[in-house]
Structure 1
Amino acid sequence: MARQKKEIHKVEMTDGKRAIIQQLFQEYNIESATDIQDALKDLLGGTIKQMMETEMDEHLGYSKSERSDSENARNGYKTKSLNSSYGSFQIDVPQDRQSSFQPQVVKKRQKDISAIDEKIISMYAKGMTTRQISETLEDIYGFEASEGFISDVTDKILPQIEEWQSRPLSSIYPIIFIDAIHFSVRHDNMITKLAAYVVMGINEDGRKEVLTIEVGENESSKYWLGVLNSLKNRGVRGYPYSLL
C-alpha cells in the first residue's frame, strides 16, 4: 500500500485575514519571525483565558458583570504556567469560592497543550536518545524535560507494541517475505549487534501486512524457527510461497 503524503495546509487569504494580520503588525510592532512567535504566544494565552472566562460564566450560571444570589461566586485568579508549540507562558485561571470549577479548555493538572507525548515518541522512533530529546525540547519549547520523564513517555507505547505483537492473524497468507535488518546498539557502554526479524505477508485480498517485527541476536536458523512458530501460535496455518 502506497504511503499517504501528509496533507500540506494551503493558506487562503481573505479580506478578514488581511485585516487581522495588519492589526497584528500594528499591535505588536512585528519585525522578525521571533516577534511573530511572541505575538502568537500572547494571543494564545489571551484566547485561552477568554475561553475559561466563558466556561466560568456557564459554571456559575451568570456572567462576570451580573449580580446573583448564588452561594457560589468568582474568587479571583490563579496563575498557571503552560508549555505550547510557541513556547512557555502563563495564564490567569479564574477561581470560584467552592472550588468546584473544572475548566475543560485546559484541565486543572494539564501543563502542556502541544501534544508533547506524540512529539517525544516521534523523536524516539527516529532514533534520538533520551538526552537528545530532552535537549531538543528545551531548545524548541523553552522548558526542561528530564531523561526520566522522556523514558516514562516512551514506555507508554510498550503495551501497544505488545498488543500488536500478539494480535490474531489470518490463517492463510499466499506469499510471505522474511528478512532481517542488522544494526548496532549501545548497552551498558558496550556496542552490541542485533537483528530485527521482519515478516511481511500478502493476504488473500492481495494486501501487504506486516505480521511481526522481533528484535533478537544475530540472524540464525534457530531464531527464525522461533519467529515462524510464534506466527503459527497466532493463527497462521499456511503460506505456500516464502521469499527470503
Structure 2
Amino acid sequence: MARKKKEIHKVEMTDGKRAIIQQLFQEYNIESATDIQDALKDLLGGTIKQMMETEMDEHLGYSKSERSDSENARNGYKTKRVNSSYGSFQIDVPQDRQSSFQPQVVKKRQKDISAIDEKIISMYAKGMTTRQISETLEDIYGFEASEGFISDVTDK
C-alpha cells in the first residue's frame, strides 16, 4: 500500500507579503523564530477578540460605541487561557449582563483552538472572500456566519 505524500506548501512572495513582513519586523522587533511565534500568538489573540466582539454586537443588536435601551448590555471581559498550535495564551472574552452570550469562535469551556488558529491564519493569508470565509467558519464551528458578519470582522 502506497503512502500518501504530505502536501508541501509553496511560499510565493508578493510585494504585499513583503510589506506585511516588514511591518511585523518593525512592530514586534523580531530577531528569532520564538519572536515570530509570539507575534503570531498576539495576532491570533487579537483576531479572535475582534471576532468575539462582532459576535457580541450581533447578539446585542448594536455595536460597542452605540447606545441602546435594551435590558441586556456589555459587562466587561473575562480572561480565558487557550492552547493553540503556537502555544498557550490568554484571550479576553466579552460578557453581557444577562449571561446569555454564547460565543461561537471559541465556545464556552473550549480550551484547545489548534484547528481554529490554523484555519483563521490560512484564510487571511489566502485573501479569501467573505463567502469563502463564511463557508470555512461553518466547516470549523458548525454554525452559519453571514457575509455581513464576516465583513464586520475583517473590517475590525
TM-score between the two structures when normalised by the length of structure 1: 0.46
Q: Is the 8 Å Cα contact of residues 84 and 117 (structure 2) preserved in structure 1?
A: no
Distance 1:6 1:121 in 2: 20
> Secondary structure in 2 aligned to 1:115?
helix
Aligned in 2, Cα 1:154/1:10: closer, same or farther, shift over 3 Å? Answer: closer
Cα displacement string for residues 8-66 of structure 1 (whole angstroms, at most 9, x for unaligned residues)? 11112222211111100000000111111111111111111111001111111110011
Task: Write the mapping of 1:1-244 to structure 2, written as runs, cut at 5 A.
Answer: 2-115=2-115
Q: Is the 8 Å Cα contact of residues 87 and 142 (structure 1) preserved in structure 2?
A: no
Which ranges of structure 2 fall in alignment gaps of 5 or more residues? Answer: none
**Cα displacement (A) at 1:3:** 2.5
Aligned in 2, Cα 1:87/1:77: closer, same or farther, shift over 3 Å? Answer: same
Cα displacement string for residues 120-176 of structure 1 (whole angstroms, at most 9, x for unaligned residues)? 9999999999999999999999999999999999999xxxxxxxxxxxxxxxxxxxx
Paired residues in the alignment total: 156
Q: Which has the higher contact order (CA 8 A, sep 6+)?
A: 2
Aligned in 2, Cα 1:31/1:66: closer, same or farther, shift over 3 Å? Answer: same
Aligned in 2, Cα 1:87/1:149: closer, same or farther, shift over 3 Å? Answer: farther
Sequence identity (%)? 98
Distance 2:150 2:85 in 1: 17
Aligned in 2, Cα 1:138/1:31: closer, same or farther, shift over 3 Å? Answer: farther
Q: Is the 8 Å Cα contact of residues 121 and 154 (structure 1) preserved in structure 2?
A: no
TM-score between the two structures when normalised by the length of structure 2: 0.71
Which ranges of structure 1 fall in alignment gaps of 5 or more residues? Answer: 157-244
> Secondary structure in 2 aligned to 1:105?
coil
Cα displacement string for residues 102-121 of structure 1 (whole angstroms, at most 9, x for unaligned residues)? 11110011011115999999
Distance 2:48 2:100 in 1: 19
Greater Rg over alpha carbons, structure: 1
Aligned in 2, Cα 1:21/1:116: closer, same or farther, shift over 3 Å? Answer: closer
Aligned in 2, Cα 1:142/1:100: closer, same or farther, shift over 3 Å? Answer: closer
Distance 1:16 1:83 in 2: 30
> Secondary structure in 1 aligned to 2:59?
helix
Aligned in 2, Cα 1:123/1:5: closer, same or farther, shift over 3 Å? Answer: farther
Q: Is the 8 Å Cα contact of residues 83 and 89 (structure 1) preserved in structure 2?
A: yes
Aligned in 2, Cα 1:118/1:16: closer, same or farther, shift over 3 Å? Answer: closer
Aligned in 2, Cα 1:143/1:62: closer, same or farther, shift over 3 Å? Answer: closer
Q: Is the 8 Å Cα contact of residues 60 and 73 (structure 1) preserved in structure 2?
A: yes
| Higher percent of residues as helix | 2
Q: Is the 8 Å Cα contact of residues 87 and 141 (structure 1) preserved in structure 2?
A: no
